[in-house]
Structure 1
Amino acid sequence: MTSDLKPLLKATDLHVEFPGRRGGSPARAVDGVNLEVSPGEIVALVGESGCGKTTLARTLLGLQRPTAGVVAYRGAPLSYSGKALKAYRREAQLVLQDPSGSLNPRHTVYDAVAEGLRIHGEATDERERVADALSRAGLRPPERFFLRYPHELSGGQRQRVVIAGALVLDPTVIVADEPVASLDASVRGEILSLLLRLRDELGLAALVVTHDLGLAWNIADRVAVMYLGRIVETGPVEQILTAPSHPYTQALLSVLPEGGEPVVLTGEPPDPTRIPGGCRFHVRCQVLAGGLADEAGVATQCRTQDLEVLAGGTGSRAACHVAQAEAQRASSRA
């Protein structure tokens, strides 16, 4: 359900750098990103560990200040004053990967969910709002969970408590960082169904950070594939996952059931302090290694020419010399 409304959350030319070790080159964790999330839309941010997706998510939430670029909410750039950030974090909530680490083992479920209300000075009708949040998160009857502690709950129930803690403030957007990675396969579907139901019933927007393209297929309206600090392909989920243009996306998809012959990428992602010249994926690219870039006449560009940062919006785009050459040929034939 992709919305045609103006973006609720938007990143424009976003960069985040961290100091290098012993005075070395800085690590470019986010190296030029344009990304939009519209009301009622679920966007999946996909990539390997270390690609920068969690840093991007934290920056979108105001937890990390960008080195350059702008994060805007409802069209207004984020202000990093304490009061403004507190107000923004009421609207934009984080759901973390590990519910056991997110919940204080000494706090009851009631206190864990009520914490946000107390921080923001909204303790009026606290009991009613906590009960409503737990109920919306699928813990019913909610009163039965009030006095329980995290260790008394299953993994799926703990994740529902974390989601209830986000819902209690009636946010407009949720950033979920690997929301089902630590759960059993039997519980993952329940949590994904819950997120979809919350989107449909409450109009929530969500950015779901994951390494799992299968999860994206089940939940997202759009997908943004991230590699070494940049989004290298983006577009509607059906198009990206059935006809991916970027070799990296193709490799990620190949490991899924019915994904075809698995693509084994050589080596590890490069160090973000030493991003290679040319296409940042070329040192691992199966298309370049297999000679297809030579056939397309762009092998030299792959090795030496950087690609432009992909624009935001809802259209399909890929930062790949081969894909762009093929698209140009197809356009000329048409």
Structure 2
Amino acid sequence: MTPVKPALLSANRVHVAFPGLHGAPDARAVDGVDLGIRRGEIVALVGESGCGKTTLARALLGLVAPTGGGVVFDGRPLEYSGRSLKAYRKRVQLVLQDPSGSLNPRHTVYDAVAEGLRIHGHRGDEQAAVAEALSRAGLRPPERFFLRHPHELSGGQRQRVVIAGALVLEPELLVADEPVASLDASVRGEILALLLRLRDELALSALVVTHDLGLAWNIADRVAVMYLGRIVETGPVEQVLTAPRHPYTRALLSVLPEAPGDPVVLTGEPPDPSRVPPGCRFHARCPILAGGEAERAGVAEACRTRDPGILTGDDTVQVACHWAAAR
């Protein structure tokens, strides 16, 4: 039996809460998450807007300190001193969804990619490093792009410049927040193929944050589905997306164009992280509970009153659902 590799980056019972205004309850944006990412692995973190996935990504990057739990990178707890974070962010780089907002319109492509090298005091050949990063990102010949400005590039080319700016520091892990959301459909596949190629060529790890389960299917080794601050289902992407067990995952999948049957329309109010309900946090919107299936399975009371608990961060198929566990 092949031993399981330890996680390169892991969240251990991470909580992130923001103070409420005018005496309101704290907003529990991340409410207890275990999640591991191994070397050379792409993990998709999926959920609708407001579920806490971007806040979790920011906590993993050290941009926001957890209010509970912690982050471990390469076997060591993440420290929040300036020097430690600077060293950490050389090894873990962020790729944002909007390349137009990420790139300074006054800077050339060369300066945009070289910025990280200058921040981290790179001592080698800067021009060679920039050229190699642009080439790896698919902008060839790289010298042709050195003096261009963002407005002279297509959306896909701008996103490749952003990726080159991350690659130039030779990171071990990328955190990509909706990396193709702002791109045309014709370009999305090219950027996803680029991320897969970088994983294969450089043994890069990646956390891809997205609301799109179709994107997760095309790029990820493993998927983690997030709802109201918690991971509610996780496992290898093929197993989770071909046989989803959590009603929320089923609802997300049902709206994909190729999904069989009618889309599942979730009732009730969108999740509010300052008012996490008792029991299963999805129960107020759960079609299984509303349709009587949970009652017939004998778990309706548990759905309303008993927290299913925090899933572990390993690669096994797991679900935080009383009804799924009873089947």
SS in 1 for 2:16: strand
Call closer, same or farther: CA 1:184–1:3 in 2, change over 3 Å. Answer: farther
Q: How many Å separate the matches in 1 of 2:146 and 2:27?
A: 44
Moved more, 250-259 or 168-177: 250-259
Q: Deviations over 1:221-246 (max 9, x none)?
A: 00000000000000000000000000
Shift of 1:267: 2.9
What amino acid maps onto 1:44 in structure 2?
A
Quote the residue 1:315 is aligned against. 316
Quote the residue 2:185 is aligned against. 185
SS in 2 for 1:283: helix
Shift of 1:279: 0.5
What amino acid maps onto 2:248 in structure 1?
Y
Quote the residue 1:252 is aligned against. 252
Moved more, 171-180 or 301-310: 301-310
Quote the residue 1:291 is aligned against. 292
Quote the residue 1:268 is aligned against. 269
Question: What TM-score comes out, normalization by structure 1 length?
Answer: 0.96
How many residues end up aligned between the 2 structures?
A: 325
What amino acid maps onto 1:278 in structure 2?
G
Structure 2 matches for 1:36-185, cutoff 5 A?
A: 36-185=36-185
What amino acid maps onto 2:206 in structure 1?
A
Shift of 1:256: 0.8
Q: Which 4+ residue blocks in structure 1 deviate beyond 2 angstroms?
A: 267-270
In the alignment, is residue 301 of structure 1 matched against residue 302 of structure 2?
yes
Q: How many Å separate the matches in 1 of 2:84 and 2:265?
A: 46
| Conservation of the 8 A alpha-carbon contact between 1:45 and 1:226 | yes
SS in 1 for 2:90: helix
Structure 2: give runs of 5+ residues left out of the alignment. none
Quote the residue 1:198 is aligned against. 198
| Conservation of the 8 A alpha-carbon contact between 1:270 and 1:276 | no
Moved more, 18-27 or 261-270: 261-270
Q: How many Å separate the matches in 2 of 1:256 and 1:3?
A: 36
Q: How many Å separate the matches in 2 of 1:11 and 1:268?
A: 29
What amino acid maps onto 1:196 in structure 2?
L
Moved more, 143-152 or 254-263: 254-263
Structure 1: give runs of 5+ residues left out of the alignment. 327-334
Q: How many Å separate the matches in 2 of 1:207 and 1:43?
A: 5
SS in 1 for 2:285: coil
Shift of 1:5: 1.8
Q: How many Å separate the matches in 2 of 1:147 and 1:121?
A: 22
Q: How many Å separate the matches in 2 of 1:126 and 1:136?
A: 15
RMSD value over aligned CA atoms?
Answer: 1.1
| Conservation of the 8 A alpha-carbon contact between 2:228 and 2:273 | yes
SS in 1 for 2:34: strand
Quote the residue 1:281 is aligned against. 282
What amino acid maps onto 2:149 in structure 1?
Y
Identity of aligned residues (%): 75
Shift of 1:36: 0.2
| Conservation of the 8 A alpha-carbon contact between 2:50 and 2:271 | no
